[in-house]
């Protein structure tokens, strides 16, 4: 348990990049204006084929990794130290990122769409915090999950690394699918409560931000990260052993939903979407455990850079698309150019602040 999991560092970087990729993809859809993203002049519905492939598992993967990271930290630090560290790494960047970068993103969108409401700070700041920091919302959720679970880490963690009912289950063929049950049950809960405006639990599985559905599902994945990591080698070996099964089941579910247009029959059943999400997430964990659990200079760079890059990327994206949206270039060409510019400019901001000691904590970077 004390051995560093380089694959988790790599998957965290990949997950954050997928969020950036997904956010840019939204700017090429007809949904962009509804979620306050700058919209390209030539939106294309076909991009949803790619976005829907990522949609069900990109955010749950982040929550799972956060739970895994918390449990790994508990092997090396006391609960008090972990609490202080999480408040610094999550709390400070959430406040700063919301005030500066989420507000900047909303302001740029206001200019693009001609919304005078966003011209006034007295409107802009409350709006951003009403929606939990816009793109920073999940950082707040992870902080809350940490505050809830840290006092109970000794209880929910297998600190002695002995065989438990969970580790024994993981060693059995198909045992990993026992842990899909809470995810599927949450999907059933969403089936029962969606479109109920009195309860306001959530409407669609993939809408995680600022919904009760996103909070409950996020907490389930966060807890799964802690519990499964506590099973030691039984968990990691299960990931290695089953990734091909997860690939097959995840693709079968996705193809079924694709053929039904994501909108009819069982393709709308949140239990199926939850099970699909489960399989793609454990596919990623399996591939990571097999191929990515090794250190490298590239990994050292990206695991440090990816969090600050994510914090700054949204206003950078909005600024790039503000000037780029009206350019008459086919989206197949425009998308990779815009993605390169967003990553390049965000990395440039990261490099401009990474050696300034007072600024590092604002971007979630530890001072050495």
What is the DSSP annotation of 318-364? HHHHHHHTTS---HHHHHHHHHHHHHHHHHHHHHHHTT-TTTGGGGT
What is the phi/psi pair of residue 56, to 5°? -80, -20
Angle between helices 270-287 and 233-259 (to 10 degrees): 130
pLDDT at 5: 93
Q: Is residue 56 part of a domain?
A: yes
CA distance linking residue 19 with residue 28, whole number of Å? 15
The residue segments making up the domain with residue 251 are: 6-363
pLDDT at 161: 67
256 neighbors 302 (Cβ within 8 angstroms): no
Q: Is residue 368 part of a domain?
A: no
Cβ neighbour number for residue 84 with a 10 Å cutoff: 12
Q: Is residue 278 part of a domain?
A: yes
Q: Is residue 1 part of a domain?
A: no
Instruction: Encode the chain (368 residues) as per-residue pLDDT tens digits.
Output: 557 899 999 999 999 999 999 999 999 999 999 999 999 999 998 999 999 999 999 999 999 999 999 999 998 889 999 999 999 999 999 999 999 999 999 999 999 999 999 999 999 999 999 999 999 999 999 999 999 999 999 888 876 667 899 999 999 999 999 999 999 999 999 999 999 988 999 999 999 999 999 999 999 999 999 999 999 999 999 999 999 999 999 999 999 999 888 876 777 899 999 999 999 999 999 999 999 999 999 999 999 999 999 999 999 999 999 999 999 999 999 999 999 999 999 999 999 999 999 999 999 999 87
Nearest to 57 by CA among 286, 288, 280, 282: 280
CA distance linking residue 153 with residue 160, whole number of Å? 13
pLDDT at 328: 92
CA distance linking residue 1 with residue 87, whole number of Å? 24
Q: Is residue 224 part of a domain?
A: yes
Cα–Cα distances in angstroms (integers) from residue 347 to residues 30, 137, 313, 338, in the given order: 29, 22, 9, 14
Place of tokens 């409401």: 117
pLDDT at 18: 96
Q: Is residue 84 part of a domain?
A: yes
Q: How many domains does the chain have?
A: 1
pLDDT at 76: 85
């Amino acid at each position: 348990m004390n051995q560093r999991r380089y694959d988790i560092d790599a998957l965290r970087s990949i997950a954050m990049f997928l969020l950036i990729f997904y956010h840019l993809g939204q700017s090429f859809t007809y949904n962009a204006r509804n979620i306050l993203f700058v919209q390209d002049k030539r939106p294309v519905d076909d991009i949803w084929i790619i976005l829907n492939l990522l949609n069900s598992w990109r955010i749950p993967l982040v929550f799972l990794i956060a739970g895994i990271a918390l449990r790994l930290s508990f092997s090396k630090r006391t609960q008090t130290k972990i609490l202080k560290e999480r408040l610094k790494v999550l709390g400070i960047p959430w406040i700063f990122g919301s005030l500066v970068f989420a507000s900047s993103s909303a302001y740029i969108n206001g200019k693009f769409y001609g919304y005078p409401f966003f011209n006034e700070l007295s409107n802009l700041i409350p709006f951003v915090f009403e929606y939990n920091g816009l793109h920073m919302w999940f950082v707040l959720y992870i902080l809350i999950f940490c505050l809830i679970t840290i006092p109970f880490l000794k209880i929910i963690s297998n600190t002695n690394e002995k065989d438990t009912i969970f580790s024994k289950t993981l060693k059995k063929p198909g045992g990993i699918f026992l842990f899909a049950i809470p995810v599927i049950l949450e999907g059933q809960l969403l089936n029962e409560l969606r479109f109920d405006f009195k309860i306001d639990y959530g409407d669609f599985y993939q809408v995680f931000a600022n919904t009760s559905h996103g909070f409950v599902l996020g907490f389930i994945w966060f807890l799964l990260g802690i519990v499964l990591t506590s099973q030691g080698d039984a968990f990691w070996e299960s990931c290695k052993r089953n990734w091909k099964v997860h690939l097959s089941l995840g693709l079968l579910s996705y193809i079924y939903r694709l053929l039904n247009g994501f909108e009819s029959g069982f393709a709308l059943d949140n239990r199926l979407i939850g099970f699909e999400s489960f399989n793609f997430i454990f596919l990623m964990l399996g591939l990571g455990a097999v191929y990515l659990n090794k250190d490298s200079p590239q990994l050292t760079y990206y695991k440090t850079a990816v969090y600050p890059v994510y914090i700054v990327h949204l206003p950078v994206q909005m600024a790039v698309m503000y000037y780029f949206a009206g350019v008459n270039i086919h989206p197949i060409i425009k998308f990779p150019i815009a993605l390169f510019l967003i990553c390049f400019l965000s990395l440039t901001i990261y490099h401009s602040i990474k050696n300034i000691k007072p600024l590092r904590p604002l971007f979630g970077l530890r001072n050495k």
